[in-house]
């Protein structure tokens, strides 16, 4: 790519960043995200998997928050604070990978559906619409139950059930981009399918993808924690699993509010952060949304 194109892209990014900075909720969301990701990444420097071990639980069982364990303990005496910290790695990782998978599938199918006219495009659209109608949680539950609840299968279950909305969005965008005259010119000059889609369509849909991915991660984290709560995930450390524990061990009846509140607040905080960030990105890319105060 020429240096002119790079400079142009850099300037465009600078403008983009300036506009984004003006979206206060988005900036707050981004800040929270950064903190969460950093905390998740540095966790191994302070703690390790043993915080989830039932055997080495040191504290009193189901103890309220105290100086010893600031967020209280669970039914095995494990520190909620440390478990939540360690669990952030799982929840964020699965959320992120599942979103990537979803966006990946959605983009490929979306671009293909928009690019290829004729029966291929129609078939892809039909398949997309069918997947879109499937109730996502129910389908993910079934897939997780059949495939077993390992991390990989959970990621797959979420990815396979959430790609359609992205595909529709990308398809609409692909159609819009390909309607532009320079695409015709490119085709006339001999640009093949691969060339048109990767060199022209993809860069144009890329900003949209960024916003979509961010929102998709929020959705994936909620889905993962729900799957874990409902017991189909084999994962022992995710926030959803912790909440499952609180339910199984009657935290509600025992009044162990910390066991229910803390992991849940973590989920809400991270999901809201991704959502605010994603909505701000959408606003920046679609000025019409900004004006309406949406």
Partner 1 sequence: MTTPLDAAEPAVQAAGSGDGRPAHRGTLRYALSKAGGALLSIAMVIVGTFFAFRMLPGDPVRALAQGRNMTPEQLDLERHRLGLDKPLIDQFFDFVGKTLRFDLGTSYEYKRPVVDLIGDRLGATLLLAGAGLVIAVSLGLWQGIRAGWRPGSRFDRFSTGVSLVLWSVPTFWLGLLLLMVFAAGIGPIPGIFPTRGIESVDAPDGFAYLLDVGMHMVLPCLTLAAVIYAQYLLVMRSSLLDEVSQDYVTTARAKGLRDDEVRRRHAVPNALLPTVTLVFMRIGFVVGGAVTVEAIFSWPGLGQLFYEAIRVPDFTLMQGTFMLLTVSVILMNTLADVVYHVIDPRVRSA
Q: What is the binding site for partner 1 (CB under 8 A)?
A: 130, 132-139, 141-143, 145-148, 165-166, 168-169, 172, 212, 215-216, 218-219, 222, 225-226, 229-232, 240, 243, 246-247, 251-255, 257, 260-261, 264, 267-268, 271-272, 275-276, 282, 292-294
Q: Which is nearer to partner 1, 40 or 209 (CB)?
A: 209
> DSSP states of 223-235 as a string?
HHHHHHHTT----
- Shortest separation between residue 185's beta carbon and partner 1, angstroms: 28
Q: 27 CB contacts (<8 Å, ≥6 apart)?
A: 20, 21, 280
Q: Which is nearer to partner 1, 57 or 106 (CB)?
A: 106
- Shortest separation between residue 246's beta carbon and partner 1, angstroms: 7
- Shortest separation between residue 252's beta carbon and partner 1, angstroms: 4
Determine the distance from the C-alpha atom of residue 171 to the mean position of all C-alpha atoms in its chain, rounded to a whole number.
20
- Shortest separation between residue 169's beta carbon and partner 1, angstroms: 5
Q: Which is nearer to partner 1, 86 or 229 (CB)?
A: 229
Q: Which is nearer to partner 1, 12 or 252 (CB)?
A: 252
- Shortest separation between residue 144's beta carbon and partner 1, angstroms: 8
Q: Where are the alpha helices (DSSP H) in the chain?
A: 3-21, 24-46, 80-115, 118-133, 136-147, 151-178, 181-188, 193-195, 202-229, 239-248, 251-254, 257-285, 287-291
Q: What's 79's DSSP letter?
A: B
Q: Which two tokens stand for residue 149?
A: 């609840």
- Shortest separation between residue 195's beta carbon and partner 1, angstroms: 28
Determine the distance from the C-alpha atom of residue 23 to the mean position of all C-alpha atoms in its chain, rounded to a whole number.
21
272, burial (CB in 10 Å: exposed 0-12, middle 13-18, buried 19+): middle
Exposure class string for 208-240: b at 16+ Cβ within 10 A, else e = bbbbbbbbbbbbbbbbbbbbbbebbbebbbbbb
- Shortest separation between residue 242's beta carbon and partner 1, angstroms: 11
**Three-state SS sequence of 110-131:** HHHHHHCCHHHHHHHHHHHHHH
Q: Which is nearer to partner 1, 94 or 271 (CB)?
A: 271
Q: Which is nearer to partner 1, 52 or 233 (CB)?
A: 233
Q: Which is nearer to partner 1, 196 or 240 (CB)?
A: 240
Q: 278 CB contacts (<8 Å, ≥6 apart)?
A: 29, 211, 212, 214, 215, 218
Q: Which is nearer to partner 1, 47 or 172 (CB)?
A: 172
Please say whether the beta carbons of 67 and 101 come within 8 A. Answer: no
- Shortest separation between residue 102's beta carbon and partner 1, angstroms: 11
């Amino acid at each position: 790519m020429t240096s002119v194109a790079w400079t142009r892209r850099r300037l465009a990014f600078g403008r983009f960043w300036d506009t984004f900075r003006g979206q206060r909720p988005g900036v707050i969301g981004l800040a929270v995200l950064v903190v969460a990701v950093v905390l998740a990444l540095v966790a191994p420097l302070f703690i390790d998997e043993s915080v989830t071990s039932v055997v080495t639980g040191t504290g009193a069982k189901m103890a309220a928050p105290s100086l010893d364990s600031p967020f209280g303990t669970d039914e095995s005496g494990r520190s909620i604070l440390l478990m939540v910290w360690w669990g952030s790695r799982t929840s964020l990782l699965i959320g992120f990978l599942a979103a990537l998978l979803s966006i990946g599938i959605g983009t490929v199918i979306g671009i293909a559906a928009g690019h290829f006219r004729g029966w291929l495009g129609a078939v892809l659209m039909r398949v997309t619409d069918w997947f879109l109608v499937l109730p996502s949680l129910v389908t993910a539950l079934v897939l997780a139950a059949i495939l077993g609840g390992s991390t990989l299968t959970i990621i797959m279950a979420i990815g396979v059930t959430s790609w359609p909305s992205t595909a529709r969005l990308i398809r609409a965008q692909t159609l819009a981009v390909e309607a532009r005259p320079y695409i015709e010119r490119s085709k006339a000059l001999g640009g093949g399918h691969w060339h048109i889609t990767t060199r022209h369509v993809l860069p144009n849909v890329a900003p949209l993808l960024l916003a979509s991915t961010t929102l998709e991660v929020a959705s994936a984290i909620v889905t993962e924690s729900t799957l874990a709560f409902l017991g189909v995930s084999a994962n022992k450390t995710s926030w959803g699993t912790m909440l499952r524990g609180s339910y199984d061990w009657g935290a509600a009846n025992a009044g162990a509010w910390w066991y229910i509140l803390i992991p849940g607040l973590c989920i809400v905080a991270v999901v809201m952060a991704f959502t605010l960030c994603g909505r701000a990105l959408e606003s920046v890319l679609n000025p019409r949304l900004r004006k309406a105060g949406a």
